[in-house]
Amino acid sequence: MTKPLEASKWHEKMYQAYVEQYWLAEENERTDCGIILVRIERSWGETMQAIRAIVEPEDGVAVREFAEADRHRAAFLLFGASWNRSHYTALRIKRLLAKMADGAYSILLAGAAEQAERNPQFFEALSDLFEQAPLDPNLILFHELYQSNETQSVLLVDSDEEVRRYLQLRLQMKGYRVLAAGDGKAGLDLFRQEHPDMVITDLNLSGIDGFHFLIRMHREDPDAKSKIVVFTDNREEDTISRCFKLGVADYITRPFSPVELEARIERLL
Amino acid sequence: MLLSQQAAIYLIYLMVAVIATGLCVLVGMKLVQSYRNRTLARGLAKHDDWFTYVLANLEGEEPLSPPPDLRGGGERRAVQERLLPWIEQTRGTQQAKLVRLCEEMGWTARERGRLESSFLSVRLDAAYRLGCMRDADAVPALMKLLSGTKPGALSFIVARAIARCARRPGELRDMAALLLSRNKEAYLLVADILTESDLDEANVVKTFLQSGETSLVKLALAVLKTHTRPEVAAALTHLVDAEDKVVRAQAAGLLVRGSGKLSLEQIRRLMAHRDGDIRAAVASSLGALGMKDSVALLREALADADWKVRYNSGKALAQLGEEGFNALCEAAKGPEAEFPASIARLVLQEAMGTGAAAEASIEIMAERNMRQFVFEDHFGGRGRELPADR
Amino acid sequence: MLRDWLYGYGMAATFYVAAVTLIYFCILFFSYRGIYGMLKGETYARFRSLSGSSYVPPVSLLVPAFNEELTIIDNVKSLLTLNYHTYEVIVVNDGSKDRTVEKLIEAFQLTPLESETVTYEIDCTEIKAIYHNPAYPRLYVIDKENGGKADSLNAGINFSHYPLICSIDADSLLEKDALIRMARVYMEDPGRIVAVGGNVRIANGCRIEDGVVKDVRLPRKMWPMFQTLEYLKAFLGGRIGWSHINGLIIVSGAFGMFRKEEVVKVGGYRDGYPGEDMNIIIKLHRYMLENKLPYKIAYSPDAVCWTQAPDTYRILSSQRKRWGRGNLKNMLENWDMIFRPKYKQFGMLTMPYNVIFETLNPYVKITGLLALIGYVAMDMTQWRVLLIYAIINFLTGYLMAVGSLVLEEIGFRRYPRMRDLFKMMGFSVLMFLGYYQLGVLWRLQGHIEFLRKNNTWGVMTRQSWNEDSATKSSA
């Protein structure tokens, strides 16, 4: 493992390695890079050994490691690893840590941002956020922590926790600020307070009748500054046309195609 | 006499025994259930991070990896119970990706084996799960299971599974025909089951229109209601004169709504149909579709013998813009107690009364102004009250 | 001589009690398959998705309301959020003396609806006004003069827009999925099914938020607790079995779905007497059988409606007397159907069972007891007979209770805690120390009221859902 002398700080090292790798690769070979940060408070040496066994380089993936034993932290840069593979590797490391480090650890997964080679601040923000994060037995996804204020906001109103969780995850990964509500009342309150750029709502809510929810939002926001997308099981044509009359921007039925859903959401934002 | 007392005592012993067994069974079931719930919750908690991984990576070409160290039946059941609903929720490539994951974990093969079990409940469970996992190879075995299942609730479970697995229209057609031959009237539920399929259900049922079997025809009509096809118009014209009332009405409705290019002559023939329900259905479709050529026809229908036809025709006229509204006002001028006038007055009163709606778009306002204008033109005054008989 | 007769009669009564249980268990046993299908069908049906399917027929919910100002707003709000693609909620105000209509108009900003004309297909008191608000597109409120519950339902039917109607008590809460679960049962055989009954459960003790039962618990008070067990027995034990042989005699007025066409044909609900829910079902049986039409009265045990049980002696006894009156009236009115082969299983099994084991039950039990007491009074050495009589009475009842608890455990498991199970087992025993006897007495009193032509509705008060849950949580 080569360590360039001129960079001293952790995030600077990461940035340097990233830039090196970026310029080394041919233009058409520049691929994704997964970043896994870990902090281990107990039995450092042993655990690191075990982690290395997991992140061993395999076909098409180059691994760079930046460990700081005194600060109990290490970074792994997985060049060429897709988001899928990085996530799975992080998942395995997390399971290992849960067994070996007994709660005294934290782990963060990030993907190199767009044009990270020109942006040293990205790595700095990453390590700062990780530094501030408390010890947490769960795998932290970087985009859950990192939110700039200029991003557009999306309000999710759905009584199904699974769907809410999925959309929240996906939209956060796309960089939106996501607000979630489990029922109509909470949804309406959030709508009033936050004026989100988009509302994704089910028609089948508890607390408020779905149509009435749409009408209330329409009343609060007659110019339709917030785009409203209905995402529901209701496939009845009369319902669909009635929703469009109520100023809905799009109507998506379940079962759904996640790619199509995201495309239709992005088209409106 | 003593015998009956003795018999009563035996009866008591017997009942005590049955009650004791019942109580033991109750407690036993509760214990098993709470154990199951606990393992399920533990399994879900353990693999929660893996689900985050799955949801975050549904997109993209790369296949998903199974959960690391999935141990024992309890954990498998937990993961399965949460993953299968996701297959049901999704469509397209993401669904295929999840199905492939199930295959890789050996679940599909496992359920295929369970399909051969000697317990009906296991077979049904396997059928349901194979359906979720879209296993095309299981269709013949599922069809066998379906033909061996009694009509009723259980057969629909298997049928749904077949609809999800089937890759060829023939399989779907066979399933629908078999199901309807035993559950004659359940065509709406069968139509819903067919929507589970990735195949185009309208193509599958199109041939049923000519089958002559009432239940199959009803199924076809129900499905085509949401999938308009111009090419079936000929078959529909034929069905308007069918024996079954539901078939007649559905076919007429589809005919008017579906093609949208019916000639005035065809509409005239439908409006002269001997079945009042058909005339009524056609009349309201004409209004909903805004077919302005039919004003004269609807005006005539205001004197129909059937109240519902008269009422729907009046309502339809009110929907047909100035021309229609004019005709309605014209009709209202006749003798108050007689047909065309009485119904026209009723509809007029209703139409002029809608002013109560608080919010209205520009179109609605324009529509209302038009109505007021036409109304005043005919009856004078600024009110909404119709003058009494002159 | 008298002694022998008394003894013989007493023993006959004993075996009569045993026979009720036996017949009932036979029905349950023969319908095992049906129960299995019922439960499995529920397990694998995906109600969420089905509820949005355009093939599911639209339903009109009819909510008769008489002096319901305390609960009506919450209940309507909850009814407006059912998991069902197209339905309407029609509240029929039956000339309430309190502010029921005013409260509704205020809460939903309703305005009179003039764009629709009601045709009186069934006789009912004239409708004064219909209220609606386009911002709540599913809600209609009908205001009319007082005419009784049946009359209100008839008015609702006349106004309803959809081919299926569903009657709901204004003091009940539907589970979100209840309607779609019922509709699924209907869709499996829409050609024959003319009515589907739902399962009524007791909400006392449960935590209710926003008109949704959030946390299912057993009632704390004694009266509701007894009724919980009674309802479990009646709905799970009784109706599942009867529905399987198509011999259901009642679909609870609190929650039942009907095909409008047939209800109109039999002339709608009957007025002037309680027991209109049993009456409509008997009329449907009669109409379909007399016209030799294929039909079925189905039951959906998983379509749940939560209701508030009376929690004081006074209200409970008045309710039960009313039921007793209604039952007797219905039996007398349809006397001709009993043991007539023309009326098939309904005339040969359901009606006789109902007359012999429900209507006549108090008489047989009480006279049996009196006979045995008389017998023992003449010869104290024979005290054992009395004991046997008591034990048989107790055991048969307990057996049925255990049977229904097993069904609950197999199929529904609404009460998840082990503690609840033991509580239910225990209270099933306690029921025999008074509650049962009271039940017999109330029915008898109901019959007496009927004969004295007392036809009032009796006392009935409501408590608001909020108050209920608030006091429960602070308790």
pLDDT per residue over B272-324, tens digit each? Answer: 888 888 888 888 888 877 778 888 888 888 888 888 888 888 888 888 888 88
Which candidate from C114, C117, C405 shows the least CB-CB separation from B26?
C405
pLDDT, residue B258, reads 67
Clarify whether residues A123 and A187 are in a common domain.
Answer: no
pLDDT, residue B239, reads 84
Strands, E assignment, C16-163: 59-65, 87-94, 111-112, 127-132, 139-144
pLDDT, residue C464, reads 58
Structure tokens belonging to residue C431: 């029921």
| Neighboring chain B residues of C388 at a CB cutoff of 8 Å | 5, 8-9, 12
Overall domain count for chain A: 2
Write down the pTM of the prediction.
0.89
Residues of chain C numbered 351-390 and touching chain B (CB < 8 Å) = 384-385, 388
Mutate: best of A87, A141, A178, partner B, most B CBs <10 A: A87
- Distance of residue C190 Cα from the nearest chain B Cα, in angstroms: 6
Tell me which residue range forms the domain holding A205.
153-268
Clarify whether residues A85 and A162 are in a common domain.
Answer: no
> Which of A96, A113, A147 corresponds to the end of one domain?
A147
pLDDT, residue A145, reads 64
Structure tokens belonging to residue C462: 């409501």
pLDDT, residue B330, reads 84
Clarify whether residues A132 and A157 are in a common domain.
Answer: no
Residues of chain B numbered 48-77 and touching chain A (CB < 8 Å) = 49-50, 52-53, 55-60, 62, 64-65, 68-69
Clarify whether residues A44 and A80 are in a common domain.
Answer: yes
Share of chain A above pLDDT 70, in %: 92
Q: What is the DSSP code (8-state) at residue B150?
A: P
pLDDT, residue B23, reads 95
> Which H or E run contains C23?
helix C2-30
Rg (CA), chain C: 23
| Neighboring chain C residues of A206 at a CB cutoff of 8 Å | 81, 176, 210, 212
pLDDT, residue B1, reads 46
Domain ranges across chain C: 1-52+177-247+266-475
pLDDT below 50 — which residues of chain A? 1-5
Clarify whether residues A92 and A168 are in a common domain.
Answer: no
Q: What is the CATH number of the domain that holds A93?
A: 3.30.70.270
Mean pLDDT in consecutive groups of 10 residues from the start of chain C, 475 residues: 84 83 76 72 84 93 92 91 94 93 94 82 90 92 92 94 93 92 93 94 89 88 93 84 87 93 92 85 95 93 91 92 90 91 90 86 86 86 85 88 88 88 93 88 90 67 51 35
Clarify whether residues A257 and A159 are in a common domain.
Answer: yes
8 Å CB contact of C8 and B9: no
> Which of A147, A176, A202 corresponds to the end of one domain?
A147
> Which H or E run contains C195?
strand C193-202
Residues of chain A numbered 234-253 and touching chain C (CB < 8 Å) = 234-239, 242, 253
pLDDT below 70 — which residues of chain B? 1-3, 258-261, 336-337, 353-365, 381-390
Clarify whether residues A120 and A51 are in a common domain.
Answer: yes
Clarify whether residues A173 and A142 are in a common domain.
Answer: no
Q: What is the CATH number of the domain that holds A226?
A: 3.40.50.2300
pLDDT, residue C43, reads 81
> Which of A147, A180, A207 corresponds to the end of one domain?
A147
Q: SS in 3 state form for chain A?
A: CCCCCCCCCHHHHHHHHHHHHHHHCCHHHCCCEEEEEEEECCCHHHHHHHHHHHHCCCCCCEEEEEEEHHHCEEEEEEECCCHHHHHHHHHHHHHHHHHHCCCCEEEEEEECCCCHHHCHHHHHHHHHHHHHCCCCCCEEEHHHHCCCCCCCEEEEECCCHHHHHHHHHHHHHCCCEEEEECCHHHHHHHHHHHCCCEEEECCCCCCCCHHHHHHHHHHHCCCCCCEEEEEECCCCHHHHHHHHHCCCCEEEECCECHHHHHHHHHHHC
pLDDT, residue C469, reads 43
Which residue's entry shows tokens 């870990």?
Answer: A38
